[in-house]
Chain A
Amino acid sequence: MAALWKLPCIFICENNRYGMGTSVERAAASTDYYKRGDFIPGLRVDGMDVLCVREATKFAAAHCRAGKGPILMELQTYRYHGHSMSDPGVSYRTREEIQEVRSKSDPIMLLKDRMVNSNLASVEELKEIDVEVRKEIEDAAQFATADPEPPLEELGYHIYSNEPPFEVRGANQWIKFKSIS
Chain B
Amino acid sequence: MAAVAASAGHLWRLRAARAEGHWRRLCGAGLRGFLQPASAGGDAATRRQVAHFTFQPDPEPQEYGQTQKMNLFQAITSALDNSLAKDPTAVIFGEDVAFGGVFRCTVGLRDKYGKDRVFNTPLCEQGIVGFGIGIAVTGATAIAEIQFADYIYPAFDQIVNEAAKYRYRSGDLFNCGSLTIRSPWGCVGHGALYHSQSPEAFFAHCPGIKVVVPRSPFQAKGLLLSCIEDKNPCIFFEPKILYRAAVEQVPVEPYNIPLSQAEVIQEGSDVTLVAWGTQVHVIREVASMAQEKLGVSCEVIDLRTILPWDVDTVCKSVIKTGRLLISHEAPLTGGFASEISSTVQEECFLNLEAPISRVCGYDTPFPHIFEPFYIPDKWKCYDALRKMINY
- A26 contact set on B, CB distance < 8 A: none
Residue of B nearest to A173 (CB): B346
Q: Pick the most buried of A160, A161, A166: most chain B CB atoms within 10 A of its CB.
A: A160
Number of A-B contacts (CB under 8 A): 36
Q: A1-B127, A168-B207 in contact; A161/B232 too (CB < 8 A)?
A: yes
- B308 contact set on A, CB distance < 8 A: 160, 166
Are A160's CB and B232's CB within 8 A?
yes
Are A161's CB and B167's CB within 8 A?
yes
Are B122's CB and A1's CB within 8 A?
yes
> Interface residue count for A (Cβ, 8 Å)?
12
A137 at the interface (CB under 8 A from B): no
Q: Pick the most buried of A159, A162, A168: most chain B CB atoms within 10 A of its CB.
A: A159
Are B168's CB and A158's CB within 8 A?
yes
Least distance between A139 CB and chain B CB atoms (Å)? 22
Q: A4-B122, A181-B167 in contact; A158/B172 too (CB < 8 A)?
A: yes
- B172 contact set on A, CB distance < 8 A: 157-158, 161, 181
Q: For chain A residues 1-31, which have a beta carbon within 8 Å of chain B?
A: 1, 4
Least distance between B239 CB and chain A CB atoms (Å)? 25
- A161 contact set on B, CB distance < 8 A: 167, 172, 175, 177, 231-232
Interface SS of chain A: loop
Interface SS of chain B: loop
- A173 contact set on B, CB distance < 8 A: 346-347
Are A160's CB and B122's CB within 8 A?
no
Q: For chain B residues 186-231, which have a beta carbon within 8 Å of chain A?
A: 207-208, 210, 231
A152-171 interface code vs B (CB 8 A; 1 in, 0 out): 00000111111000101000
> Interface residue count for B (Cβ, 8 Å)?
19
B131 at the interface (CB under 8 A from A): yes
Are B124's CB and A159's CB within 8 A?
no
Residue of B nearest to A9 (CB): B134
Are A158's CB and B171's CB within 8 A?
yes
B261 at the interface (CB under 8 A from A): no
- A160 contact set on B, CB distance < 8 A: 167, 208, 210, 231-232, 308
Residue of A nearest to B130 (CB): A1
A162 and B131 alpha carbons, distance in the complex (Å): 24
Are A1's CB and B168's CB within 8 A?
no
A159 touches which of B121, B131, B167, B347 (Cβ 8 Å) = B167
Q: For chain B residues 22-65, which have a beta carbon within 8 Å of chain A?
A: none
Q: A1-B127, A168-B207 in contact; A159/B168 too (CB < 8 A)?
A: yes
Are A1's CB and B131's CB within 8 A?
yes
- A168 contact set on B, CB distance < 8 A: 207
Residue of A nearest to B230 (CB): A161
Given A157-B171, A159-B167, A160-B167, 18 more A-B residue pairs with CB atoms under 8 Å apart are A1-B122, A4-B122, A158-B167, A158-B171, A159-B168, A159-B207, A159-B208, A160-B208, A160-B232, A160-B308, A161-B172, A161-B177, A161-B232, A162-B232, A168-B207, A173-B346, A173-B347, A181-B167
